[in-house]
Structure 1
Amino acid sequence: MIAKLTGILDSVGDDWLIVDVAGVGYLVHSSSRTLSGLPSRGEAVQMHVETVVREDAITLFGFAEVAERNMFRLLTSVQGVGAKVALAILSVLSPTDLQNAIAAQDKTAVARAKGVGPKVATRIVNELKDKVTGLVFQPKGVQMSAAGGAQAPASSGAIEDAISALVNLGYKPVEAHGAVAKAASNLGEGADVGALVPAALKELSSL
């Protein structure tokens, strides 16, 4: 299995690129988010790759971030969500925004992607809500490095503390995660625990 490609950017299309590795060109399908961040043709490029093997084809899907590749894997684990739909979602939502949307059960945000109807969006947020809570929560606005590490603002610790506080109050992790995701989005990344917890409790009370 190919997990990573490092080479020269040969050419780029609407949803693909070709990476030249020692004279061999690899066709890699990508989201528009990844494609928009590529260097110029002829320059060095590195892609984190998901290899999909079927009876009639071996297809490579490439991502600039490990986080995006991981979200691609989660999306394609949902019944009825293929690679094309997963790339469409990742083209309109960053890994952080998608994680937050799933945690907050925001079907509308997921349905913004081309080809994603209300039923598919509902299935995605329902089936993945428990899985994204196992990931490290990232407040809206966090930038992911090419190596997949988060460059988190100062409020990330407050967000984790707020989630922990709600869990200690008896709420389920997925409920706490979703409520804090909404609160953090509304208050902004500078919010502290004192602001996040009451706002999250308000979100929970409205459910």
Structure 2
Amino acid sequence: MIRYITGELITVSKDRIIIEQGGIGYELMIPSSAINNLPSPGYQVKVYTYLHVREDILALYAFLTQDDLEVFKLLITVSGIGPKVALGVLSAHTPDDLRFAILSEDVKTITTAPGIGPKTAKKLILELKDKFKLDESFESRFSNSENETSLNITRVREETLEALLVLGYSRTDASNAIRSIEINDETTAEDALRQSLRNII
């Protein structure tokens, strides 16, 4: 298994790159959204990889972060979603945006990815929503999971979402309202609920 490759970036096109390492040129498929974050050819680059093997094909897929790779691997566990479609999804959505869309059951947003229709979007929601955590959908990336501030923010978001659902709001409306407000370590669940209700109304 090739976990990652570090080498000289040789060429870049709209959906693939070539990296040279140890005298070998590796052609890798890559989300188009990652192209602008690559260095110029001639510079060193590190990509995380997934090796797709079939009887008639051997293909490497590249990602700039481990998070991108892990979400890609989850996508291809869904029946009917192959590596190319999964790559298209990550070309259209960041992992954070995709998590949020799935958790809020936002079919419209998910279908903006190429090759994803309403039926497939609903299948993604059904099969993946239990594999994502609520706090991940709000772009909360903390280096220390025991950090009291991050734990408080996560708790406030979860309590606010639960309260909005109890009040009869849909998961989509509730999630969108919470996402639109600013929550810090001093925000209480009551404050967040009041702000969210103003945004929904």
TM-score normalised over the length of structure 2: 0.79
Partner residue, 1:195: 191
Distance 1:94 1:50 in 2: 18
DSSP 3-state at the match of 2:56: coil
Q: Is the 8 A contact 1:8 1:45 kept in 2?
A: yes
Amino acid at match of 1:112: T
DSSP 3-state at the match of 1:160: helix
Greater CA deviation, 182-191 or 41-50? Answer: 182-191
Percent identity at matched positions? Answer: 30
Distance 1:68 1:200 in 2: 30
**Where does 1:94-133 land on structure 2 (aligned, <5 Å)?**
94-133=94-133
**Where does 1:128-207 land on structure 2 (aligned, <5 Å)?**
128-133=128-133, 137-140=136-139, 156-165=150-159, 181-188=175-182, 192=187, 193-197=189-193
- CA, structure 1 residues 168+82, in 2 after alignment: closer, same or farther (shift >3 Å)? closer
Partner residue, 2:67: 67
- CA, structure 1 residues 200+178, in 2 after alignment: closer, same or farther (shift >3 Å)? farther
DSSP 3-state at the match of 2:136: coil
Partner residue, 1:22: 22
| 1:26-48 deviation digits (Å, cap 9, x = unpaired) | 01101011122110000000001
Distance 2:149 2:193 in 1: 13
Amino acid at match of 1:187: I
Distance 1:107 1:138 in 2: 15
Aligned residues: 193
| 1:15-62 deviation digits (Å, cap 9, x = unpaired) | 100010021000110101112211000000000111111122221110
Q: Is the 8 A contact 2:161 2:174 kept in 1?
A: no
**Where does 1:8-47 land on structure 2 (aligned, <5 Å)?**
8-47=8-47
| 1:59-116 deviation digits (Å, cap 9, x = unpaired) | 1110001111111011111111111111111112111111111111111111111221
Distance 2:17 2:143 in 1: 24
DSSP 3-state at the match of 1:137: helix
Q: CA RMSD in A?
A: 3.5
Distance 2:71 2:52 in 1: 15
Q: Which runs of 5+ in 2 are unaligned?
A: 166-170
- CA, structure 1 residues 82+88, in 2 after alignment: closer, same or farther (shift >3 Å)? same
DSSP 3-state at the match of 2:116: coil
TM-score normalised over the length of structure 1: 0.77
- 1:168, distance to aligned residue in structure 2 (A): 8.7
Q: Which runs of 5+ in 1 are unaligned?
A: 172-176
Partner residue, 2:168: none
Greater CA deviation, 178-187 or 122-131? Answer: 178-187
Structure possessing the higher radius of gyration over alpha carbons: 2
